Structure 1
Amino acid sequence: MPTLASLRAFEIAARLGSYSAAARALNVTHAAISQHIRSLETHLDEKLFTRAARGMELTQAGHALSGSLTEGFGMIISGVRAITDERTHRPVIISTTPTFAEVWLMPKLGGFWTEHPDIYLQVQPYMGLSNLRSEGIDVAIRFGAGDWPGLDVVPLLMSPFAVVCSPDYTEAESLDEMGDLNEIYWIFSEFSSEQYAWGNRIGMDFKQQDFRELASNALTLSAVRSGLGVSIQSRVLVEDDIASGRMKVLYEGDPEGIGYYIVTLPGVLSPQVKTLRNWLLRNAEDVTTVEEIETEISEESDAL
């Protein structure tokens, strides 16, 4: 086969009727178009253009090839457009934990739908660690330290951690009043790991200390509300419980980099995914940090 570049140069020159017009269309020099067509003629061992009084004219072979190429390139363009249009109109898939989806994301989504009615979102609550590429996920909101290699990671919420319980569990108002912390009924989700890092901050080693492990954080929060024990939670997940009096804070500390992050595959994001990511950042609590992140993202995009 001849090179695709030479075929494209010839097709445009034949359709527009001149080498100069083809050069302008492809943003190359007249000499480049001429060289491509000479190469194609050599490959085919056929003259495709002849000189005439009013410029270049197609030979019989040129006419035949031109018609086939115009149809062929048209089919290619249609195929590419079909794929890009499908990507543009397909749902933006978000993966996050069920608790974060219920407590933080879903109450805010009405605002997103009002602002962007043309973008359809599909939320996939999932306790495990999703594989963005193989599972077709556009945006993941992950909880952790942000150290996921091979992915683009942007901080979303660095909420303080809080040791919480129901007022029915104890009359104490702080951990200092609780006495021996080893005697407390601690409750965590089987998928959580932050209690190990945050536990050290309060003098607890949960790799050695026994605790009750439930199947999800939603069950953990329900157990704490029911007065069954004490848990360590990102404060953003229990803010409503604290405000309503269903839970009280026994201790609050700095998250030390553990929090919620927006995670995407590396590379150019679709306009819909960019819109969602920027909306998430604007709805995060730390507006100053969000503005700095958006500026950094913009600078990185310009560099690309």
Structure 2
Amino acid sequence: MNWNDIPSLAALRAFEAAARHGSFSAAARDLNVTHAAIAQHVRALEDHFGQSLMQRDGRGMSVTPEGRALSDSLSEAFGLIATASHDLLDQSQTRAIRVAVTPSLAANWLMPRIGSFWNQHPEIEVELVPAMTLVDLRRDNIDVAIRYGKGGWAGVSSTPLMPAGHVAVAAPSYVEGRKIDCLSDLKGLRWLMDGTRSEERFWICANGIDLDEECVTMFPTGQLSREAARAGLGITVQPAPIAAPYIASGAFVELCAEQDSDIAYHILTRPEVISPTRDIFVKWLRSEATS
């Protein structure tokens, strides 16, 4: 399509409304613009095509034969656009909410709770998109993302969900009989680390432990380092909400917890999108986090 030969869509829309109503004033009210703006658009189209499109007819306006052919085609085209737009809006209101979340948080925090959301809102479908990499909410068509960090992400609305300070944990058998008052008491033990996060390394180093001088085993994911710790192979550092159910069940003992951390899980949404079902899910997330 050669757009250089096509007038502005604003002018075409103004002409279609004027032809449909047979009045510049009625078209202006329809499009919420001035009478002069409609008249200017119609004159611009007549100059572009080099022929008259509308003419005076008593107190109103009538469409010339050439103008009628154009207005009929425009009415059909704008009708197709309206139908396609309404169809997409209908789909967005009925499709599943897409939620991007880290695999660890999905498995250890969200999945044990999601049943209550289904019970409360059986009409709302939720599609989980677990991924370690950061997603682009617009490009990846994500409705809600739960992101771990200090906040301040550009182009999105961000709301803190829950604190996520670090906690060092291990299987009870691994530290049995050892007196532990602070993180530095863990020097000389095996550290089970994953390569996907750097914040826990800063916390460990800030407490006087140089990991370059320690026995460290690396894993590709936090889940693997966590399972190795459950097997009694060493110490792992996890976000507090991830470690909490393991501590509660007795699989882990809490050795040291970070105090007053500015790291948290945040709810990210697209500010330009209006979605009642998304807002219901976000409200439920916040309720679960506070409970």
Find out whether 1:257 has 2:252 as its counterpart: no
What corresponds to 1:277 in structure 2? 282
- Asked if the contact 2:99–2:142 (Cα under 8 Å) also holds between the matched residues in 1, the reply is yes
Find out whether 1:238 has 2:243 as its counterpart: yes
Q: How does 1:136-285 map to 2 (within 5 A)?
A: 136-146=141-151, 148=153, 152-172=157-177, 175-176=180-181, 181-254=186-259, 256-264=261-269, 267-271=271-275, 272-285=277-290
Q: Report how many residues are paired.
A: 285
- The offset of 1:59, in angstroms, is 2.2
Find out whether 1:101 has 2:84 as its counterpart: no
- Asked if the contact 2:195–2:220 (Cα under 8 Å) also holds between the matched residues in 1, the reply is yes
Q: SS where residue 175 of structure 1 aligns?
A: coil
- Judged with a 3 Å threshold, the aligned counterparts in structure 2 of structure 1 residues 171 and 87 are, in CA distance, closer, same or farther, namely same
The answer to which of 182-191 and 206-215 deviates more is 206-215
- Select 1:126's aligned residue among 116, 131, 135: 131
- Select 1:6's aligned residue among 11, 35, 40: 11
The answer to which of 117-126 and 234-243 deviates more is 117-126
Q: Deviations over 1:105-157 (max 9, x none)?
A: 11222233344444432212223344545544443322233355555543222
TM-score by length of 1: 0.81
Structure 1 residues not aligned, in runs of 5+ = 288-304
- Select 1:55's aligned residue among 56, 60, 67: 60
- Select 2:26's aligned residue among 21, 29, 46: 21
Q: SS where residue 268 of structure 2 aligns?
A: strand
Partner amino acid for 1:279? W
- The offset of 1:207, in angstroms, is 4.4
- The offset of 1:275, in angstroms, is 4.0
- Judged with a 3 Å threshold, the aligned counterparts in structure 2 of structure 1 residues 143 and 25 are, in CA distance, closer, same or farther, namely same
Q: How does 1:11-90 map to 2 (within 5 A)?
A: 11-53=16-58, 55-90=60-95
- Judged with a 3 Å threshold, the aligned counterparts in structure 2 of structure 1 residues 211 and 81 are, in CA distance, closer, same or farther, namely same
- The offset of 1:26, in angstroms, is 0.6
Q: In 1, Cα distance between the equivalents of 2:68 and 2:200?
A: 74
The answer to which of 185-194 and 6-15 deviates more is 185-194
- The offset of 1:208, in angstroms, is 4.2
- The offset of 1:70, in angstroms, is 0.9
- Judged with a 3 Å threshold, the aligned counterparts in structure 2 of structure 1 residues 255 and 53 are, in CA distance, closer, same or farther, namely same
- The offset of 1:201, in angstroms, is 4.3
Partner amino acid for 1:240? P
Q: In 2, Cα distance between the equivalents of 1:115 and 1:57?
A: 57
Q: Deviations over 1:218-255 (max 9, x none)?
A: 22222222222222222211222222222211222225
RMSD over aligned Cα, in angstroms? 2.8
Q: In 2, Cα distance between the equivalents of 1:198 and 1:179?
A: 11
- The offset of 1:92, in angstroms, is 3.0
Partner amino acid for 1:239? A
Structure 2 residues not aligned, in runs of 5+ = 1-5
Q: In 2, Cα distance between the equivalents of 1:98 and 1:190?
A: 15
- The offset of 1:199, in angstroms, is 0.7
Q: In 2, Cα distance between the equivalents of 1:67 and 1:135?
A: 38
